[in-house]
Amino acid sequence: MAFASSNRSFYFTSISISALRCNFSSSFPHTRKPTTSFSKNEPSCLTTTAKLKVSLRLTVKDRASLEKFLRKRCKPSGQGDINLITPNEALCIFDYMLHMHPSPPPVTSFNILFGCLAKTTHYDTVLLLFKRLNSTGLFPNLCTYSILINCFCKMGQVSLGFVIFGRILRSCFTPDAVTFTSLIKGLCAKSRIMEAAALFTKLKAFGCEPNVITYSTLINGLCRTGHTIVALNLFEEMANGNREIGVVCKPNTVTYNTIINGLCKEGFVDKAEALFLQMKDENINPDVVTYNSLIHGLCHANDWNEAKRLFIEMMDQGVQPSVVTFNVIMDELCKNGKMDEASRLLDLMVQRDVRPNAFTYSTLMDGFCLTGKINRAEELFGSMESMGCKHDDVSYNILINGYCKNKEVEEALSLYREMVSKGIKPTVVTYNTLFLGLFEIHQVEHALKLFEEMQRNGVAADTSTYNTFIDGLCKNGYIVEAVELFRTLRILKCELDIQAYNCLIDGLCKSGRLEIALELFRSLPRRVLVADVVTYNIMIHRLCNEGQMDKAHDLFLDMEENAVAPNVFIFVTLIHGFVRINKPSKVIELLHKMKEKKVMPDASIVSMVVDLLVKNEISLNSLPSFPVHERRGS
C-alpha cells in the first residue's frame, strides 16, 4: 500500500531586496523602505494627488489653516476611515509644507502628519518622511521622537526604539509617560516582560510619572505572559500609591478590564468578581468588555447561573451586548445541549440588532449536530449567507462532521465537493473528518483515494490523520497494511503519539497477534512514550481473554508504579478473569484496591463476587464496604 509522507512544501513570496532597502543616514537606524510606492507615474494616484494639491493651495494659507486641515484629515470619518490621509497624500502634503512661504511650519505641524500616519499603521512612511525632515534642517522635538519610538515598537523593532530613546537623551529632552509607554508596550509585545517591568521602575529616575495608560500597558503585558498575580499587585499599587514610584494613579475602565480579563483567563474568577464590585463602588461604569470577560470566565468555571445573571444585569444597566457576549453564552448553551435556549438567544441577537457572525452560526450548528438535529444545522447553514455571513471552512467542517457522525457520508462528500467548487480550501480537519466517516462505513479504498487527493491539494497530514488511518485499517481488517503504514511513518520520522500505538496494539490484539502487541507495548519507553489508561485497558483485556491472568495482573501493578490510575473497566476485566479461574483471594484484593482508588463496582460485579465467595465458603465480611454516595468510575 502506498502511503506518501506529509507534503511539507514551503511557498515563498518573491520580494525585491531593493524594495526593502532604505538608505538612511549613518546617524539614523536602518530600516526597510515603505512598501507603498510614491511614483508620480501611477495613474491611480495622479488624479487624487492633483486634486489634493489644488485643495491645499485654496485652503492652506498659514500655520493655523494648515493645522486645521491636518486635524480634519487625521480625524476618522466613521466610514471605515475613508477620509484619513494615505501614504501618497502624505508625501504630497509633506512637500507642500516644506515649500510654504515665508518658511516651513514648525515641527509640531509635521508631528500631526506623522501621528496620523502612525495611527493608520503606515509606519514605514513615517520613517521615510522623518529622514527627509532631518535633511531640511528642521529639528525634531520630543513628540517627534516619541512617534518614531512608537512606530519602531509597533514594527517589532524595539531595539531601534531604544536607539531613538538614546537620541532623546542626547538632545537634552526629558522623556515623558508617552515615550516610556511605547517602549514598555514594545517590550511586552516581544514577551520581554522583565525588561518592561524594570523600565517601569526607572521612570522616577527620569522625573517621569506613569499615567494610567502606562500602568494598563504593563498590567496587560503581565497578564498575557501568565504573571497575573504580579499584575494584580501592580493594579492595587495604582490606587494605594506605588512605594517606588511614589504616585497615586487611579485605574480607569480599561485598567479594570485588563486585570479582570487576565484573572478570568487564569481561573481566578472570584478575584475578578471582587474587582468588578470594587469598580462599581468607585463609580467606574463597567462596559461590554468588562461583562464579556466575566461572563466568559464564569462559563469556563461552569457557573452558568451567575453568567446568566450578569448577562441580564448588563442589559438592565443599558450595556448593549456585543456579538462576543452572545457567542460566549451561545457556546456554553450548546456545550450543555440546551439547544432551545441557544435558538432563542439567536432570535434575541437579531431583535437587538446584533449581527451574528460565522462563529455564532458555527457554534449553533455544532450544537445541533452533537444533539443529532442535523436538519436544524442544515437550515442554519442555508440561512447564513442570506444574513450576510459567508460560509467558511469551519462552517463546512462542522456540517461535514455532523453528516459523518450520522453516517450520511455521501452527503458529507457532496458538501466537500461543493466547498471545493466555491473556492473554499478544505483543511486537514475536513479530510480527517471524511476519513473517519469513510472508515466507519468500511469504504477503505475511497479513503485512500481521498488521501491522494488531499496530497494533490497541498494539505499536509497531521498526527490525527495517521491515527485515523491506523485505526481505520485495523478495524476494517487491513492489519498488515496498518503495520506497514506504521513502519513507514516511523522510517519517515513522522510524529506518532500514544494514540497511534493504542490503535495498532488494539488491532493486533483483536486479530490474534498478542505477542506482537506485547512487543510493541514494551517498546514504548524506547520511543519516549508513556502508556496511558487506554493502552493498559487494551492489553489487560486481551491477556484476560487469553487466560494469561498473571501477566494481566503484572500489568495492573505496572500501572501503579507508573502513576496511571486504573478505571472501572480495568478492575471489572480483572475481576471477571479471576472469577473464571476461581481465584477469590485476587478478587478480594482487587475490591479493596477499588475502594482505595474510590472506584465503585456495579451490581453485576457484586453479584458475581458474592457467588464466588459462597461457592468457596468464604465469609462476606472479607469484602470491603463501599460508601453509597461514591460515584462509579474514576
CB burial of 447-460 (b: ≥16 within 10 Å; e: otherwise) equals: bbebbeebbeeebe
Q: Output the 3-class SS for 222-283.
A: HHHCCCHHHHHHHHHHHHHCCCCCCCCCCCCHHHHHHHHHHHHHCCCHHHHHHHHHHHHHCC
**What's the whole-number average pLDDT of the chain?**
86
Residue whose grid cell is 483543511: 427
Q: How many CB atoms lie within 10 A of CB 403?
A: 25
Residue 40 has pLDDT above 50, yes or no: no
pLDDT value at residue 16: 26
Q: Which pLDDT value is given to residue 250?
A: 87
Closest Cα to residue 389, out of 434, 441, 443, 349?
349
Higher pLDDT, 163 or 70: 163
Q: Which residues contact 39 (CB under 8 A, 6 or more apart)?
A: 45
Of residues 597 and 63, the one with the higher pLDDT is 597
Q: Is the per-residue pLDDT at 528 higher than 70? A: yes
DSSP-derived 3-state class of residue 30: coil
Lowest mean pLDDT among 33-47, 96-110, 115-129, 267-281: 33-47
State the pLDDT at residue 627: 67
Torsion-angle region of 78 (φ positive above 0: left; ψ -120 to 50: alpha; else: beta): left
pLDDT digits (tens, 9 = 90+) for 238-289: 877 655 545 568 899 999 999 999 999 999 999 999 999 999 999 999 999 9
Question: Quick check: 39 pLDDT over 50?
Answer: no
Cis check: omega of the bond before 601, within 30 degrees of 0: no
Lowest mean pLDDT among 206-220, 247-261, 495-509: 247-261
- pLDDT: which is higher, 126 or 21: 126
Residue 32 has a pLDDT of 45
Closest listed residue to residue 60, CA positions, set 109, 126, 111, 131: 109
Identify the band that residue 98 occupies on the pLDDT scale cut at 50, 70 and 90: confident
The Cα–Cα gap between 293 and 264 comes to 7
What distances in angstroms separate CA 278 from CA 238, 262, 273, 291, one per listed residue? 14, 16, 9, 14
Report the SS3 class of residue 611.
helix
Pairwise pLDDT comparison (51 vs 155), residue with the higher score: 155
What pLDDT score does 166 carry?
Answer: 94
pLDDT for 58: 61
The whole-number pLDDT of residue 37 equals 43
Segments making up each domain of the chain, as ranges? 321-390, 530-634
Alpha helix segments (H runs only) across 371-462: 374-383, 393-405, 409-421, 428-440, 444-456
Question: Per-residue pLDDT for 65 more than 90?
Answer: no
Determine the pLDDT at residue 248. Answer: 64
pLDDT digits (tens, 9 = 90+) for 483-496: 999 999 999 889 89
- Please list the residues that pair with 632 across neighbouring strands: 600
Other CB atoms closer than 10 Å to residue 442's CB: what's the count? 13
- What is the percentage of the chain residues whose pLDDT exceeds 70? 87
Give tens-digit pLDDT for 538-591. 999 999 999 999 999 999 999 989 999 999 999 999 999 999 999 999 999 999
Please identify which residue in the block is written with the cell numbers 518622511: 129
Pick the CATH number of 530-634 from 1.10.10.10, 3.50.50.60, 3.40.50.720, 1.25.40.10: 1.25.40.10
pLDDT at 242: 56
Question: Is the pLDDT assigned to residue 316 strictly greater than 80?
Answer: yes
pLDDT for the residue numbered 21: 28
Q: Which of these, 88, 81, 85, lies nearest to 49 by C-alpha position? A: 88
Long-range CB contact pairs, 602-609, < 8 A, 24+ = 602/568, 602/572, 602/632, 605/572, 605/575, 608/575, 608/576, 608/579, 609/575, 609/579
pLDDT of residue 73: 77
In the predicted model, what is the mean pLDDT of residues 429-446?
97
Q: What is the pLDDT of residue 46?
A: 46
Give the least confident one: 126-140, 289-303, 526-540. 126-140
Q: What residue spans of 288-427 are helical by DSSP H?
A: 288-300, 304-316, 323-335, 339-351, 358-370, 374-383, 393-405, 409-421
Q: What is the pLDDT of residue 366?
A: 95
Question: Does residue 567 or residue 27 have the better pLDDT?
Answer: 567
- Pairwise CA distance, residues 154 & 123, whole Å: 8
Express each pLDDT in 317-338 by its tens digit. 999 999 999 999 999 999 999 9
Single-letter amino acid code for the residue at 270:
D
pLDDT of 630: 42
Q: Give the closest residue to 231 by CA, choosing from 249, 244, 243, 218.
A: 218
Rounded to whole angstroms, how far apart are CA atoms 473 and 488?
15
Task: Check pLDDT > 70 for residue 463.
Answer: yes
Which of 104-113, 247-256, 291-300: highest mean pLDDT?
A: 291-300
pLDDT digits (tens, 9 = 90+) for 326-370: 999 999 999 999 999 999 999 999 999 999 999 999 999 999 999
CA dist 590 → 243, 329, 560, 598, 631 (Å): 61, 45, 13, 12, 18
Q: Is residue 470 over pLDDT 50?
A: yes
Is pLDDT at 454 greater than 90 in this prediction? Answer: yes
Task: Measure Cα distances from 92 to 39, 48, 588 in Å.
Answer: 11, 10, 90
Instruction: Give percent above pLDDT 90 in the chain.
Output: 69
Q: Which of 625, 561, 633, 622 is nearest to 597 (CA)?
A: 633
Mean pLDDT calculated for residue range 409-425: 96
